[in-house]
């Protein structure tokens, strides 16, 4: 598949929730590595993970988790990574929660951030187990678990939100690079459960 052109960073549309005009769904464009999320108050970023909860490598193409991992890492004055904070936090959560891998598809793990919070205002990364690996084929998004991922993201948000003072979630286009779905179809698949959960 040809890689689509990255849209310029910015706010595309804002929609007020019909049931509560004080709550909004905003459509953002741009590359994950360039998002200045403090401008929009995004406290949480959702990251698609594989069921083994292995983060992408720092320089993997089209890897949200790899980009977040790089942005959250502590680096030395010469730019070298000296502490892999996001992966460290994820491994600690796996151990603390007694998670047996591979994880049930659609489940979500919340981890606190380090540099992402200091520099971008992102307090949490929610790792959604939506990718399944196959030898020789790599990782593919399981289309049928998108609804489960969204539901579980909101459940984790309800658990940690009040104490951590969370008010917003940034959903990237989960699976747009790992499914055969058109990006518009991915957006529709995400938007319906998001609106449903926000309306409850």
What is the overall mean pLDDT for the chain? 86
Each residue's pLDDT tens digit, 11-48: 778 889 888 888 999 888 877 766 554 455 689 999 98
Each residue's pLDDT tens digit, 148-193: 999 999 999 999 999 999 999 999 887 666 556 677 788 888 888 9
Q: Residue 18 corresponds to which tokens in the numbers above? A: 């019909």
Q: CA nearest 172: which of 11, 61, 64, 23? A: 64
Each residue's pLDDT tens digit, 106-164: 999 999 999 999 988 899 999 999 887 777 766 666 667 889 999 999 999 999 999 99
**Secondary structure element (H or E) that encloses residue 70, with its range:** helix 64-72
Angle between helices 183-199 and 146-164 (to 10 degrees): 50
What's the whole-model pTM score? 0.89
Residues 91, 54: Cα–Cα separation, whole Å: 9
């Amino acid at each position: 598949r040809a890689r689509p052109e990255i849209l310029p960073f910015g706010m595309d549309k804002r929609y007020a929730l019909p049931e509560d005009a004080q709550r909004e769904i905003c459509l953002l464009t741009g590359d994950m590595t360039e998002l200045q999320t403090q401008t929009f108050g995004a406290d949480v970023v959702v990251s698609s993970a594989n069921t083994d909860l292995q983060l992408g490598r720092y320089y993997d193409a089209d890897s949200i988790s790899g980009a977040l991992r790089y942005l959250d890492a502590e680096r030395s004055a010469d730019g070298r990574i000296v502490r892999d904070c996001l992966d460290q936090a994820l491994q600690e959560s796996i151990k603390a929660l007694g998670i047996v891998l591979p994880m049930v598809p659609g489940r979500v793990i919340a981890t606190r951030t380090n540099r992402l919070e200091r520099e971008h205002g992102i307090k949490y990364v929610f790792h959604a187990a939506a990718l399944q690996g196959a030898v020789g084929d790599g990782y593919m998004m399981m289309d049928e678990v998108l609804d489960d991922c969204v539901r579980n993201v909101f459940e984790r948000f309800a658990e940690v939100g009040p104490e951590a003072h969370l008010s917003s979630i940034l959903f990237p286009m989960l699976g747009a690079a790992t499914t055969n779905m058109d990006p518009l179809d991915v957006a529709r698949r995400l938007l319906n459960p998001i609106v449903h959960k926000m309306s409850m």
